[in-house]
Amino acid sequence: MTPAPRPFLLLLAMLLAIGAFMLTGEEPMKLNPLTPEEARVILHKGTEPPFSGQYHDHHATGTYHCRQCDAPLYRSADKFDSGCGWPSFDDEIPGAVRRQPDADGRRTEIVCARCGGHLGHVFLGEGFTPKNTRHCVNSLSLAFRPAESVASTASGVGSGTSPATSRGRAIFAGGCFWGVEHLMQQQEGVIEVTSGYIGGHTENPTYREVCSHQTGHAEAVEVIYDPARVSYETLARLFFEIHDPTQADGQGPDLGDQYRSEIFYLDEHQKAVALQLIEQLRAQGLAVVTRVTPAGRFWKAEDYHQDYYVKKGGTPYCHRRVKRF
């Protein structure tokens, strides 16, 4: 049989694609080319060696997509360290992952709901997180995309990372800002920490006004960080470990509404991370009182409050790190 001319085959493929679009109203699915090792895992349901994948110890903020079709599958807020050697998630983006019986007759396989590419397996009832679910996923099945949102300024409301600046922004209130600032500054990936006021109803408040309990502001810190080196979730975990999230309107001997525990979120991702971490702590029996509030304007505090312990020496008197996760 004489092979069909190449131009004819190209024309036939184009006609089939046009026909599919006319029938379904959707363009044909575009699939990315795969390396032989990616094809072994994604197409032939293989497994990469444990602790070998690029995402098993990966903590940046963003979304994990299907390597084959680019469909979003998992959020970084749902990723956790199970110690198994593969990326682990306790939840998926709704409708993104399909479960089906594995060929071994024992396990439950998970595949991309869009293209059917093999991801790994899902396990229930292990108790790693309050959701009692572990999606054990091959790194080779994933492609990570960092969070992208509006760049921030100290005088406005912005969040996440910006392709132009590659900087993230977070705001935490957990008692006297001197101690929170000091401990946040020691975190790898943090670029700058500024002490200030947020959450009140007056403009440009002074320290004296905030301490009068008439403005409604909390002492807080604005953290500017490099998302390639530290994730928002890591910073939020640190926040919960360097102050007592069960003490209302105070930290240690510092009492008053300006010393309250509160996370001021800048986007929905930050909100989801904060609420998930609070859920985890409450599942441990901690009566967490931390508020989760949309961020308003952050006002920089007076210069003598900035880098307080760097200038004065010593260590925080009401903040210390306590392992909670």
Which is catalytic among the residues 66, 136, 176, 318?
A: 176
**Residue 212, CA distances (Å) to 11, 14, 124 in order:** 77, 73, 51
Return the closest-CA partner of residue 140 out of 63, 80, 66.
Answer: 66
Distance, in Å, from the CA atom of 130 to the CA atom of 128, rounded to the nearest integer, reads 7
Strands across the sheet containing 299-300:
291-294, 261-265, 168-174, 218-225, 190-198, 299-300
115 is catalytic: no
Asked if 159 and 252 count as a contact pair (C-beta separation under 8 A), the reply is no
SS3 314: coil
> DSSP label at 172?
E
User: Which strand (E) or helix (H) includes residue 76?
Assistant: none
> DSSP label at 141?
G
Residue written as tokens 């004296």? 208
As separate numbers, helices (DSSP H) first and strands (DSSP E) second, the chain gives: 7, 17
For the beta carbon of residue 253, count every other beta carbon within 10 angstroms. Answer: 9
**Residue 130, CA distances (Å) to 73, 134, 287 in order:** 20, 11, 16
Return the closest-CA partner of residue 175 out of 318, 282, 38, 278.
Answer: 318
Residue 86 tokens read as 């593969």
Distance, in Å, from the CA atom of 143 to the CA atom of 157, rounded to the nearest integer, reads 30
Q: Where does 111-250 have alpha helices with state H?
A: 177-184, 207-211, 232-242
Catalytically active residues, by annotation: 176
